[in-house]
């Protein structure tokens, strides 16, 4: 059984989680993550002898984050934990339960940024040229070609309706993160594949381009599983998933054009810093070419 002080702290956290569920309608998984992060704080506070959140100051939160770091939490987990704390403290501030935000200005350790894996041009060609025979063949080819042609997010592809595709002008209109719309070119191979799929399925203008059961838009999970199956069928044994196709699209366009701003617009990134990761991929490729080609530049392993 938890100490009375810890139980009171946890009860306040549960009230906040109820607010997230009812007022902000966050998913059960997100709320469970918040619960885990905030209960770690309340446990630390009970051990430190802090009876209420109003007693917290910046030094306490800094000590809590340091203790979690020593306990083995990764920088990425610490960033998420600190984000949950900030959100909770803002809620308490609005309700007059804190004199200030004790997490203000506090930063978690930086997590090393992993470079995304990509498929090379040959692998991408092999993947998108799946056989079109069978009941799902035309759909699969259209799906893969559109992913690679236009760099769509998985959610954007699943939600796409025929009325948002202009196959004559070779354009697609999508709504991305933050409800922001953008218009993206569609390549000739994708237009051909989509036209063949449209002729075969004879859809209404407001129908999903890729329907699932009952005519509703196909689920994200169904697309993920299908792409994994198709990759293995085509002899590609990397971990292939929809976002890998988006990474490959961005890397290949940047490698050919060198236009970082253009790639940012195509991907729908709000911040160009998000797009800059593809410049690192491009440099890695150039460095490999340089090391293998220049007789006096090969680095020692």
25 annotated active-site: no
| Res 96 pLDDT > 70 | yes
pLDDT of residue 200: 92
Taking only the tens place, the pLDDT of each residue in 167-223 is 999 999 998 877 888 998 999 999 999 999 999 998 998 999 999 988 899 999 999
Q: How far is CA 224 from CA 66, 119, 250, in A?
A: 38, 16, 19
Decide if 82 contacts 124 (C-beta within 8 A). no
Q: What integer pLDDT is reported at residue 23 of this predicted model?
A: 83
Annotated catalytic residue 247: no
Mark whether 243 is an active-site residue: yes
Q: Which of 166, 161, 159, 168 is nearest to 205 (CA)?
A: 161
Q: Is 100 exposed, middle or buried (0-12, 13-18, 19+ CB in 10 A)?
A: exposed
All domains of the chain, ordered by start, with CATH?
A: 4-94 (1.10.150.130), 121-291 (1.10.443.10)
Phi, psi for 81 (deg, rounded to 5): -65, -40
> What is the tens place of the pLDDT at every residue in 36-50?
999 999 889 888 888
What is the pLDDT averaged over residues 8-23?
84
CA gap 247, 239 in Å, rounded: 13
Which pLDDT score, from 0 to 100, does residue 187 have?
Answer: 92
Please identify which of the residues 177, 221, 280, 288 carries the catalytic annotation.
Answer: 177
Entry pTM: 0.60
Q: Which of 80, 226, 246, 252 is catalytic?
A: 246
Catalytic residue among 19, 24, 62, 243: 243
pLDDT above 80: residue 89: yes
Q: How far, in Å, CA of 45 to CA of 70, rounded?
A: 17
Task: Choose, from 16, 34, 148, 278, the residue flagged as catalytic.
Answer: 278
Strand partners, 173: 183
CA angle 222, 142, 245 (to 5 degrees): 65
Exactly one of 76, 241, 269, 285 is catalytic; which is it?
269
- The residue behind tokens 């987990």 is 77
Residues 6+ apart with CB under 8 A from 102: 56, 57, 58, 60, 61, 89
Write the secondary structure of 183-231 as one string of H (helix), E (strand) and C (coil): EEECCHHHHHHHHHHHHHHCCCCCCECCECHHHCECCHHHHHHHHHHHH
Quick check: 86 and 75 in contact, CB under 8 A?
Answer: no
Residue 189: how many other CB atoms lie within 10 Å: 17
Q: Decide if 14 contacts 20 (C-beta within 8 A).
A: no
Instruction: Clarify whether 2 is annotated catalytic.
Output: no
Q: Of these residues, 80, 141, 153, 252, which one is catalytic?
A: 153
246 is catalytic: yes
Is residue 69 annotated as part of the catalytic site, yes or no? Answer: no
């Amino acid at each position: 059984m938890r100490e009375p002080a810890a139980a009171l702290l946890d009860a306040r956290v549960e009230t906040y989680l109820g607010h997230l569920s009812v007022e902000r309608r966050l998913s059960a998984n997100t709320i469970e993550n918040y619960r885990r992060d905030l209960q770690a704080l309340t446990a630390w506070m009970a051990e430190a002898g802090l009876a209420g959140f109003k007693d917290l100051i910046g030094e306490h939160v800094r000590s809590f984050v340091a203790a979690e770091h020593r306990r083995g939490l990764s920088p990425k987990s610490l960033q998420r934990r600190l984000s949950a704390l900030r959100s909770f403290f803002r809620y308490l501030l609005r309700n007059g339960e804190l004199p200030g935000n004790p997490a203000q200005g506090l930063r978690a350790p930086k997590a090393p940024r992993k470079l995304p894996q990509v498929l090379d041009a040959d692998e991408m060609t092999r993947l998108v040229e799946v056989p079109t025979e069978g009941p799902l063949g035309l759909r699969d080819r259209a799906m893969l070609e559109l992913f690679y042609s236009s760099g769509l997010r998985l959610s954007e592809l699943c939600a796409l309706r025929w009325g948002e595709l202009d196959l004559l002008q070779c354009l697609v209109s999508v709504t991305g993160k933050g409800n922001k719309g953008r218009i993206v070119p569609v390549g000739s191979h994708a237009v051909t594949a989509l036209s063949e799929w449209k002729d075969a399925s004879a859809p209404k203008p407001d129908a999903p381009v890729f329907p699932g059961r009952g005519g509703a838009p196909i689920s994200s999970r169904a697309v993920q599983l299908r792409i994994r199956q198709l990759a293995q069928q085509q002899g590609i044994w990397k971990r292939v998933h929809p976002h890998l196709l988006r990474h490959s699209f961005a890397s290949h366009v940047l490698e050919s054009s060198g236009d970082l701003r253009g790639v940012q617009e195509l991907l729908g990134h709000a911040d160009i810093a998000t797009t800059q990761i593809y410049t690192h991929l491009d440099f890695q490729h150039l460095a490999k070419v340089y090391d293998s080609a220049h007789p006096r530049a090969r680095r020692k392993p």
